[in-house]
Structure 1
């Protein structure tokens, strides 16, 4: 009888624990972000979250975060508008729910090149000289990231054919960009902050300009989830977006805090982080018209194969951003 009573008590305890454990699990959002300057504030979202437990995980690149999202290893991913278009082109289930931080791109050229900052004519002349001399003018980026597309779009607008006029070099990890320049393996690179500032402060290259004169402008980061998460965890997503908005407000008002988090996550010196913040723009809005222009540009550049315009518009879900900010989508980039 004692054994039966003990068994009943254990069963009752387990029954009471199980729903609590399940509720705790359901209240967790696994969030992935890349380790670049404008991405690092995502590491602060857990401390700004209420009503949801955010498990924030850093990835080397936005592509890695997107892979984790579509393979259902995380619930939310900080990626870019470019990743969004690529994911839709591949038929992946992604839903855009918030912006985050824009900017962060810079084009740098070798110190010995007679190229004037922001002077495309001088750049095109050097490219033409290399071509006439039978030497490749090598340009680099991390293929598929925002900086790569920013560079390609800016080149196309200036009449530079990246397939014929220059030789593209893919350097996947932005932390390797500095050494590639030091070894003389490339003439120009479009890289991401804080690595752009690191390269400039190390005098491994000089600034050419910011590649924002193209369809993407300076738009960079976008927060994505999946439709199953939207269905199963709507309240948790709302609180996650609210945390993103709060973090954006915090780092926009306190550059010192942004410098600290960049330095902490990337491991780079605060002097580098201080230079990087000048090229960053915290902004949680989602820009629908620009997203459509980016998708069209990516198709023109043959980065995607299909017209994803309808999917880009359909899969931008403003309800969480509206709830988090108390503003209608007409004031949030729609």
Structure 2
């Protein structure tokens, strides 16, 4: 009997460390956009946690995977965050990642110069007078969609009345929509926006950063059950993200190479995309609230989630990793 108990004790002792390791395993989901691709490097830069980085086609797919508990941590956008809270989902923001990456592009044949908003408004009016829809596109639910809507609103363009919005869910399909003449204007995400310019499927109009969201794009979120059950794993995931962010800032060549590997696009496109991206692990609370308010004004969400946006930003992990107070981290 004593020998049997001893063997069982030894077996339990052998299993416990393995169980602890499994408990700390974190699945991190990210979309195949230029900002998001550096997250492919997080497993190699993670310590004290088993980290798996999983690529998805879009941010909507990533959020769905998080909510269905297929993954534990998700790279989404500030827009996804506000939308999820509006729907009552359990999401907690734990870190920023990279901002920027948006471009508004217009058809090559349109008589528009860069940043010519007056010309764009006149062109939209001309289309309306002729009974033709002026078609604008984005991937509904991503940062570029809200950047475009916010920029339009600031310029006095009503996206519900003045133009016809077309949703193209996968950003990799944007180039073909322009080539086929299915839209007059598109707000796309890098590297696909740069690809569109490189292959001359459209021409550059503007960076849509003059609105409440500014350049804010990516946010790292998780669920409350992941935090309560695997707080250390969450902290180490944030640590790896910050480490990769610093790599991207110090080694632009590696950033470009990572964009190439994940998206399959060539170096010229990856290089152009990297120039429009800004590593930033802070969580910008006031701007996040402004984004949520703008989304409600645009009827993108139905409720005022300002309080929830603030309440569900958990700065503990950023503070632990950086050694800085939340007031220095965007709070």
TM norm structure 2: 0.97
Q: Confirm whether residue 235 of structure 1 aligns to residue 232 of structure 2.
A: yes
Residue 298 of structure 1 is matched in structure 2 by: 295
Give the conservation status (yes or no) of the 8 Å contact 2:21–2:49. Answer: no
Residue 166 of structure 2 is matched in structure 1 by: 169
What is the aligned counterpart of 1:133 among 130, 133, 149? 130
- Structure 1 residue ranges, 4+ long, deviating more than 2 angstroms after superposition: 7-18
Separation (CA, whole Å) in 1 of partners of 2:8 and 2:317? 40
Separation (CA, whole Å) in 1 of partners of 2:276 and 2:261? 18
3-state DSSP of counterpart to 1:305: coil
Separation (CA, whole Å) in 2 of partners of 1:61 and 1:312? 22
Residue 92 of structure 2 is matched in structure 1 by: 95
Q: Confirm whether residue 209 of structure 1 aligns to residue 198 of structure 2.
A: no
State the superposition RMSD in angstroms: 1.5
Give the conservation status (yes or no) of the 8 Å contact 1:31–1:55. Answer: yes
Residue 81 of structure 2 is matched in structure 1 by: 84
Separation (CA, whole Å) in 2 of partners of 1:326 and 1:25? 27
Consecutive unaligned residues of structure 2, counting only runs of 5 or more, are: none
The alpha carbon displacement at 1:20 in A equals 2.6
Q: Confirm whether residue 188 of structure 1 aligns to residue 190 of structure 2.
A: no
Separation (CA, whole Å) in 1 of partners of 2:166 and 2:292? 23
Separation (CA, whole Å) in 1 of partners of 2:6 and 2:268? 61
Residue 69 of structure 2 is matched in structure 1 by: 72
TM norm structure 1: 0.96
What is the aligned counterpart of 2:152 among 140, 152, 155? 155
The alpha carbon displacement at 1:21 in A equals 2.4
3-state DSSP of counterpart to 1:310: helix
The alpha carbon displacement at 1:260 in A equals 0.4
Separation (CA, whole Å) in 2 of partners of 1:235 and 1:119? 50
The alpha carbon displacement at 1:18 in A equals 2.6
3-state DSSP of counterpart to 1:115: coil
3-state DSSP of counterpart to 2:42: helix
3-state DSSP of counterpart to 2:33: coil
The alignment covers a number of residue pairs equal to 331
The alpha carbon displacement at 1:254 in A equals 1.2
What is the aligned counterpart of 2:54 among 54, 57, 60? 57
Separation (CA, whole Å) in 2 of partners of 1:331 and 1:20? 37
| 1:173-197 superposed Cα distances (whole Å, 9 cap, x missing partner) | 0000001100011100000000011
Separation (CA, whole Å) in 1 of partners of 2:109 and 2:325? 51
Give the conservation status (yes or no) of the 8 Å contact 2:29–2:56. Answer: yes
